[in-house]
Structure 1
């Protein structure tokens, strides 16, 4: 699916957080949002998937007007993996992932063999088959995030939004999660803090500053020392990472 966001603006209280932002994600493209804390990345994503309703703009998934469509219908096409997924009650990992099938079911409809097969495949993709009988609350932060990703994969979305899903995880889990999403070969819009990860995985970037698009383009076009200094108020030099053969960054304050 293609995502087209046109001039979205979102106000919280009396403050304009997102200011007339337009974003385009082509079919099977992995697009990143970068920028400092508080710049509006998460608010923009929440506005796109209707966790927060923008006061202006249009959000289209192909020809579906997201802001005028029911949440159940949206969830049949759009999956979201966010940063925090705490619960006050416990389910097994298998039960958690099975919840991903909910948008495709009628009220009180029982699970079919097809649903169980889809859940099994989601657990396999995220290396969680050995965890399926474990309680969700007993898992580490990285393991929990893999469960949330598996649940989202079980939705069989045609587009996915990653709302800073790896921000509090160590590097191993960051790579596991982003690599797994990349392998799905669907459209993705992701807010990312790690610039090397953004450079390695993203086809296109939007740099956000104070609620507006400051720069956009390929990682090579956006991740320049000048743009990084303007966004983060730090100086840096770029180089070719000998391991990934992508952009690397050396920072000085």
Structure 2
């Protein structure tokens, strides 16, 4: 499934946060958004998955006009993993993941054997089978994020948006989550802070600065010392990381 977000413009109050940004994610492509805090990455994603209303622009998932389609129908095709997922009520891990089946059910429809099988598979994909009877609120931040990912996988989306899902997690959970998503072999659009993670997992990058696309291309084309300095106001050198065989970064002031 391909995603096209065209000429997106978003205002909060009188301030224009996103200015005529267009994004393309081809079928099964992993595309990243990078840029400093406040540049508009998360605001853009929220408008794409209908959490914010843009004042202009079009979002298409194949031939589905996302902004004009009901949330339930969109949720049958599009899954979202966000940065913060705290809840005010407690459920078991299994119950949390079962919520991912909601978009595919009629009102008050009970869980079927197929739903239980899909949830078990989602728990297995995220290494959570041993956690399924645990209280969600008892888990660590990284464990909670894996549960949210499992819930999203249980939606069986054809496309996934990652809205800075690893920002507050340690390196182990970052790798677990991004590797799991990559292995789903679906289209992904992700806002990422860690440049090495972006270089390793993304096929294509959009660098965002002051609400506009500053640069776009492969990680090797975008993640140059000049672009990193322009985005983050910090000097760096790039090198080939001997562990990942991808780009590494050494920073200075």
The answer to whether structure 1 residue 215 and structure 2 residue 215 are counterparts is: yes
Question: Which residue of structure 2 lines up, in the alignment, with residue 7 of structure 1?
Answer: 7
Tell me the distance in 1 between the aligned counterparts of 2:10 and 2:227: 24
Count of aligned residue pairs for this structure pair? 253
The answer to whether structure 1 residue 177 and structure 2 residue 177 are counterparts is: yes
Question: Which residue of structure 1 lines up, in the alignment, with residue 116 of structure 2?
Answer: 116
Stretches of structure 1 lacking an aligned partner (at least 5 in a row)? none
Tell me the distance in 1 between the aligned counterparts of 2:127 and 2:17: 38
1:71 Cα deviation after fit: 0.2
Tell me the distance in 2 between the aligned counterparts of 1:5 and 1:38: 20
The answer to whether structure 1 residue 73 and structure 2 residue 70 are counterparts is: no
Deviations 1:81-122 (A, max 9, x none): 000000111000000000000000000000000000000000
Show structure 1 runs of 4+ deviating over 3 A. none
1:217 Cα deviation after fit: 0.1
Question: Which residue of structure 1 lines up, in the alignment, with residue 235 of structure 2?
Answer: 235
Question: Which residue of structure 1 lines up, in the alignment, with residue 187 of structure 2?
Answer: 187
Question: Which residue of structure 1 lines up, in the alignment, with residue 132 of structure 2?
Answer: 132
Tell me the distance in 2 between the aligned counterparts of 1:17 and 1:34: 15
Q: Secondary structure at the match of 1:88?
A: coil
Tell me the distance in 2 between the aligned counterparts of 1:215 and 1:198: 14
Structure 2 length-normalised TM: 1.00
Q: Secondary structure at the match of 1:185?
A: coil
Tell me the distance in 2 between the aligned counterparts of 1:232 and 1:91: 40
Question: Which residue of structure 2 lines up, in the alignment, with residue 92 of structure 1?
Answer: 92
CA RMSD of aligned residues (A): 0.3
Stretches of structure 2 lacking an aligned partner (at least 5 in a row)? none
Tell me the distance in 2 between the aligned counterparts of 1:130 and 1:205: 36
Q: Secondary structure at the match of 2:72?
A: helix
How do 1:138-149 residues align onto structure 2 when only pairs under 5 Å count? 138-149=138-149
Question: Which residue of structure 2 lines up, in the alignment, with residue 198 of structure 1?
Answer: 198
Tell me the distance in 2 between the aligned counterparts of 1:202 and 1:87: 30
Q: Secondary structure at the match of 1:122?
A: helix
Tell me the distance in 1 between the aligned counterparts of 2:90 and 2:110: 21
Tell me the distance in 2 between the aligned counterparts of 1:178 and 1:131: 20
